[in-house]
Amino acid sequence: MIIAVDGPTASGKGTISKKLAAHFGLPHLDTGLLYRAVGRQTLLNGGDPDRSADALAAVGFPDSLLDEPVLRNEATGSLASRASVHPDVRKALFDRQRDFAQQEGGAVLDGRDIGTVIAPDADVKLFITASVEARAQRRYAEMQERGVSITLSEIEADLHRRDERDTNRKDAPLIAAPDAYIIDTSELGIEEAFNAALAAIAEATASG
């Protein structure tokens, strides 16, 4: 079974995806981490993520970079959003994601174009969303736990910028697939959101 989970930053898609993978015993890929690695490597190379050539040169990042905690911070997330708008970068990472999705037994993938581009034939497609205010509050609490100095207003502004880039890029924009189940987590806790995802999967597989 292939489960595609899409949605904007801090919507809860990553947490839900990990729980789904554990629940069904499937491998999980956070595809956004690949783009974060590209953004980070671009910076390490002294390049500009807004320049296609610089971002493309960073696609060959070492696998060890995926384990670096710095990939999870807000600055790297912003770099990833900027690097991911380039079609050449998305094309370069396409095969890696597609191969993961099509492995024997299935997989859970989360990102922004899984159900529309990477795995359009996924057995189940979920689109996890939430208001900017709710997402900012979650990310702010996460940053506070990590001891990162950032204000709530700064996070909200960054989320607005990233949403704008992700939804309006020409290549593989952030949109819900026509057959995706929409789950708004603005007012849901982790377990409530997870149960909503399980219910959607049960419905999708029953009707399929």
Would you say 80 and 165 are in contact if contact means Cβ atoms under 8 Å apart? Answer: no
Residue 21 clears pLDDT 90, i.e. is over it: yes
Cβ neighbors of 178 (< 8 A, separation 6 or more) are: none
Closest CA to 90 of 169, 178, 13: 169
pLDDT at residue 143, rounded to an integer? 87
Express each pLDDT in 29-45 by its tens digit: 999 899 999 999 999 99
- Of the pLDDT bands very low, low, confident and very high (cuts 50, 70, 90), residue 208 is low
pLDDT at residue 74, rounded to an integer? 81
Q: How far apart are CA 54 and CA 47, in angstroms?
A: 5
pLDDT at residue 96, rounded to an integer? 86
Q: How far apart, in Å, are the Cα atoms of 135 and each of 77, 86, 161?
A: 14, 25, 14
Residue 2 clears pLDDT 80, i.e. is over it: yes
Q: How far apart are CA 19 and CA 143, in angstroms?
A: 22
Higher pLDDT, 109 or 85: 109
Residue 114 clears pLDDT 70, i.e. is over it: yes
Residue 207 clears pLDDT 80, i.e. is over it: no
* Greatest Cα-to-Cα distance within the chain, rounded to the nearest angstrom: 51
CATH for 2-207 is: 3.40.50.300
Express each pLDDT in 136-189 by its tens digit: 999 999 889 888 889 999 999 999 998 998 898 887 788 999 999 999 999 999
Domain boundaries, given as residue ranges, for the chain: 2-207
